[in-house]
Amino acid sequence: MKSLPFFCFAMAVMAVLFSCKSEPIGGKLEGTYWTLSSAKLANQTISLAKTAETSLVFSEGKLTGKAPCNSYFADYSAKGSAISLSELGATKRFCDEMDLENAYLSLLSKAQSYSVRGDKLEIVSSNGQLTFFQMKQDKAEAARYSQGVGKLAALFPMLEGDVMLHLHPILRVDNPGNYPYQGTIIDTSFYKFFSAEIREIWSGGGGDVMAIGQYGGFYICRVPGRYVSSDIAIFRIQEGEMQHVETVAWAWCDEGWCNQQDAWLTDTDKDGLTDVVQHYTLTDDRGKIKEERLTLLLQTENGELLPDESAKPEKGKFKMARI
């Protein structure tokens, strides 16, 4: 009977330990960024790779990240504290940490519940547990860019060559010939990275949006105009969005006369910022010029393009294309 107090004490300790076991509480996942801190497969702790961090990002119902060797992706759903993944896939690069990566992806694919507790995320799987901490701000910003507007920016090649880039429109979009700005069609799924106003214009006008390239800090697009995908506009990335700066080149003809505007991207005042020179003409059906003007738009430090009323660009340096 003397052992009874010890037995009661042991049972009380076990009860306390059981009651202290954390129950999953769920929490916000969408729009969060994490770095793997520890992993347990069954009861065995997995040694993490020292050469590269393992990341986890939740965005728009999808889960993505970088494992020790490959990038991975999956659809996810979360309700309450329950979480499940489907269609988990990964790229096919081989490296020395493949065993570690396979163990990590196995744990992730069998996720059952989760808890967000401050700056920590715990995912409990049928075969173990993963623990993450919030990604550092600079790395989260880089991941946010690559997952967002950075995917759109990657469609624009760098344009190199002459000091000035001469942008001019096209009339026959169905037969471009050797037209230099044919570009790559931007899928409509990327339109979400443009402003609502621009999306509305494009959705109502018909035609494709084409990624031409990057030059002088601008992203150059062929955009729907009067003759469908015939205008050229420049954009810049600000606050995670591709923001319209100026439609710089365009053309359209009607009833015996034609409007045309070409543009040149160049640093006219040598301040390190790209400016825009625009050359506009109105001609009749015989090719005689009825109206003509040259305009210089200077880029300010905050990125605005403002007309320089005192500038008088030399017409001979800015000869328009024959379209």
pLDDT digits (tens, 9 = 90+) for 237-269: 988 899 999 999 999 988 889 999 999 999 999
Task: Please state which CATH number belongs to domain 22-147.
Answer: 2.40.128.270
Q: Quote the CA–CA distance of 85 and 104 in Å, as a whole number.
A: 14
Has residue 57 got a pLDDT over 80?
yes
Q: Quote the CA–CA distance of 108 and 85 in Å, as a whole number.
A: 8
What pLDDT score does 21 carry? 54
Own/partner long-range contacts of 61-69 (Cβ < 8 Å, ≥24 apart): 61/30, 64/147, 67/101, 67/104, 67/105, 68/95, 68/97, 68/98, 68/100, 68/101, 68/104, 69/93, 69/94, 69/95, 69/97, 69/98, 69/101
3-class secondary structure, 138? helix
Q: Residue 172 — very low, low, confident or very high, per pLDDT cuts 50/70/90?
A: confident
Please state the rounded mean pLDDT for residues 63-71: 91
Token duo for residue 79: 């309700």
152 phi-psi bin (left φ>0, alpha ψ -120 to 50, beta other): alpha
Q: Quote the CA–CA distance of 269 and 298 in Å, as a whole number.
A: 8
Rounded percentage of the chain residues whose pLDDT exceeds 70: 93
Token duo for residue 235: 């954009």
Are 54 and 68 a contacting pair, CB within 8 Å?
Answer: yes
Enumerate the domain spans of the chain.
22-147, 150-317
Q: Please write the tens of the pLDDT for every residue from 185-242.
A: 999 999 999 998 998 888 777 789 999 999 999 999 999 988 888 999 999 998 889 9
Please state the rounded mean pLDDT for residues 42-57: 83
Has residue 139 got a pLDDT over 70?
yes
